[in-house]
Amino acid sequence: APIKLRHAALFQQACYIGGQWSQAQSGATLDVDNPATGEIIGQVPNCNEQDTARAIAEAEKGFQVWRHKTANERNEVLMRWYQLMLDHTDDLGALMTLEQGKPLAEAKGEVNYAASFIKWFAEEARRAYGETIPGAKPGQHIVVTRQPVGVTCCITPWNFPAAMITRKAGAALAAGCSMIVKPAEATPYTALALAQLAEEAGVPAGVLNVITGKPQPIGEALTRSPVVRKLSFTGSTRVGSILMSQCAEHIQKVSLELGGNAPFIVFDDADLDKAVEGAMASKFRNTGQTCVCANRFLVQRSVHDAFVEKLTEAMKTLKVGDGFEEGVNQSALINRAAVEKVQQHYQDAMSKGAKRVFGPAPEGDRGNYVEPLLLTGIKPEMQVCHEETFGPLAAVMAFDSEDDAIRLANDTPYGLAAYFYSQNIHRVWRVADALESGIIGVNEGAVSNAAAPFGGMKASGLGREGSSHGMAEYEEIKYLCMGGE
């Protein structure tokens, strides 16, 4: 392994299909690099349609075994997987920092968060309750049961290399489904390490499969197969839309967790210190690379200057560097394109009258690093109000009335997360009801939790992950009409 691991088998450079580690049939591979240094970490298989077909066949076999396990057996296997993830937090965290870049402490935090989904769904496995309903005729009974949808697949992004997999695979396996995981090209090693631990936990062959490679042929093969009954995707709205149309062919079920454009509203009756704390948590988590990161700060004019001043102070605690360095809390971005997007949003805003309040101008070649930036004077016509920046740029706009704030916040095709700070209970309810987002942080900047239904409205997606709703995405409802005598 390129780094020292306590458990060497957690570094795998092969796919995991039907309980076996294997290469692509063609022998093709893809390089994986460390975004902090640009160094190549290693190679993983570049699977094609034939490799994917093999994974689908194995997942079908796995499903036939797994669906007949009792809920209690599934619970026990998942609880072992959960425990193994916790036991190997250091190794998993190090692998994640190596391939994704995020600071080591944050990577370990993600391992913990990722494991929490496995625990949550292990518990849910035992609560796949049905219902009984009064029948329409004398003696008739209506009984409702839930069954696993079958073979499922997921395609996941690089920003949370572990958690975006466990919140899908945990739900799928708890429901009795098998799954094929296609992790992002940038972060396959974390996914493969999770598969190794799943095997050690006793997940039977074929129940969890991980295939790596260029996404398009794999995505085509997964969505155009009549055997695969469900796709769960997290990534861009552009790719989500392509995949959804491919799923139309066989009416494959889809859950989509897509892009966001989160507003973060600070009203004049907010606790400003709390608001700044929430702003830091929301904006700078994963160096701004999450789909629920605050993308637009909307601040009521009377508290605007005070908020900006406090946020500036707080931003002085941000330390940029290699994720393995002690004390670093902002890392390299995932790649060059990510850096260019921040630079572009910066230049566009500045050319339209924004003011740089904190941070150096993001110019020149600094590898994948960008220093945190704070801009004020943001206007709705700027790019940063329409697209996710996905980087450490805080963009602040002033507003006058509550109605203005709501209108500005909803002025986007997206609707994943929104945040607002107010201490007036009536305003809290009014604004929470009016915002068009699936997730609302009310006086709270950190909203992710396995117990809560995570997902978006509008172009941000379909379905929910986490909570009991997350498991329902992997279940079919079957209704038995039991006739009378």
Q: Summarize as ranges the residues that interact with ligand ADP (CB under 6 A).
A: 155-157, 184-185, 215-216, 219, 235-236, 239, 242-243
d(CA 116, CA 77): 14
Assess contact for 38 and 332: CB atoms under 8 A: no
Bridge-based pairing of strands 208-210 and 414-415 is unpaired
At its nearest, how many Å lie between ligand ADP and the CB of residue 11? 20
At its nearest, how many Å lie between ligand ADP and the CB of residue 259? 8
Residue 230's H or E segment, with its range, is strand 228-234
Per annotation, catalytic residue among 257, 402, 465, 473: 257
d(CA 433, CA 438): 11
Euclidean distance between the first and the last CA atom of the chain, given in angstroms as a whole number? 68
| Residue number, 195 or 397, with CB nearest to ligand ADP | 195
- Alpha helix positions (H), 136-214: 163-175, 188-201
| Residue number, 265 or 339, with CB nearest to ligand ADP | 339
Tokens 């552009």 map to which residue? 238
Assess contact for 394 and 283: CB atoms under 8 A: yes
- Our answer to whether residue 402 is catalytic in this structure is no
E runs forming strands in 109-176: 131-134, 141-148, 151-155
Task: Give the CA-trace dihedral at 337, 342, 343, 348, to 10 degrees.
Answer: 120
| Residue number, 322 or 387, with CB nearest to ligand ADP | 387
User: How far, in Å, are 128, 140, 399, 480 from residue 132 at the CA level?
Assistant: 14, 11, 52, 9
At its nearest, how many Å lie between ligand ADP and the CB of residue 153? 10
At its nearest, how many Å lie between ligand ADP and the CB of residue 419? 21
At its nearest, how many Å lie between ligand ADP and the CB of residue 39? 21
| Residue number, 46 or 300, with CB nearest to ligand ADP | 46
| Residue number, 85 or 243, with CB nearest to ligand ADP | 243
Active-site annotation, residues = 257
